[in-house]
Amino acid sequence: GGGGYGYAGAVHLAAEAALNSGAGLVSVATRKEHALQVHLLSPELMGHTVEQISDISELLSKATVLVLGPGMAQRQWAKRIWPALISLDLPRVIDADALNFLAETPAYSDNWVLTPHPGEAARLLQCSTVDILQDRYKAVRTLQEKYGGVIVLKGAGTLICAEDEVYVNTTGNPGMALGGMGDVLSGIIGSLLAQKYSLLEAAKLGVYLHGLAALITRLL
């Protein structure tokens, strides 16, 4: 779910990434005008207009995995649907503005993957980005203790934390420091969750494949 005014590209990137990494059916819950764009640009995706909670109820009843946040934007539309999205116990990937909502109203779950960059991590822990960067290992562990699930702290050498385990990803390159990269990663992880990988397996494999794709692209 995402794609508030001016952010249609983010939710589209996440949805295409999910589809291209093996998800069988990807539904995009977004604003009316963006749902039309989804249909026109990618007819293989299912674009759905969502303006109120009632619009999303049927979609949620059929969903197996949720990717929340790409392009959501912190506006009234997102605030209206956020309570319905956060209350479900489906496997979820929480990214972008969904992380900002979570920072405002902290919650704990063993059934989600959070994918913050250092700035979002700082908001989640109510500290500075400098604090996060000074000790990324401590930060990712603290995030996991506070919010549960699996934490993917993005950056050079992305960290993946589940309880007392911390893994370091070694794929990727500086060319990934572009807008939209996080949206693609969220879609990949969501797709892997839909294919019945565990939270930790989906996070580790998703981060690895995301970085590997960047390395291969650089060689082309």
User: Shortest CA distance to 23 belongs to which of 206, 199, 197, 191?
Assistant: 191
Model pTM score: 0.95
In a domain, 16, yes or no: yes
- DSSP per residue, the chain: ----TT-HHHHHHHHHHHHHTT-S--EEEE-HHHHHHHHHH-TTSEEEE-SSHHHHHHHHHH-S-EEE-TT--SSHHHHHHHHHHHT--S-EEE-HHHHHHHHHS----SSEEE---HHHHHHHHTS-HHHHHHTHHHHHHHHHHHH-SEEEE-STT-EEEETTEEEE-----GGG-STTHHHHHHHHHHHHHHTT--HHHHHHHHHHHHHHHHHHHHH-
Domain extent at residue 179: 8-219
Residue-level pLDDT at 73: 80
pLDDT band at 6 (very low <50, low <70, confident <90, very high): low
Q: What is the mean pLDDT of the chain?
A: 93
In a domain, 119, yes or no: yes
In a domain, 3, yes or no: no
Q: What is the CATH classification number for the domain harbouring 17?
A: 3.40.1190.20
- DSSP per residue, 118-157: HHHHHHHHTS-HHHHHHTHHHHHHHHHHHH-SEEEE-STT
Residue-level pLDDT at 40: 82
In a domain, 155, yes or no: yes
- Which one has a higher pLDDT value, 4 or 79? 79
For 77-130, how does the pLDDT look when each residue is reduced to its tens digit (9 = 90+)? 888 889 888 888 999 999 999 999 999 999 999 999 999 999 999 999 999 999
In a domain, 91, yes or no: yes
In a domain, 193, yes or no: yes
In a domain, 1, yes or no: no
Of all residues in the chain, the percent with pLDDT exceeding 90 is 73
Residue-level pLDDT at 171: 98
Question: How many folded domains does the chain comprise?
Answer: 1
The predicted model gives 164-179 an average pLDDT of 94
Least confident window among 69-73, 125-129, 157-161 = 69-73
- Radius of gyration over every alpha carbon of the chain, rounded to an integer in angstroms: 16
In a domain, 144, yes or no: yes
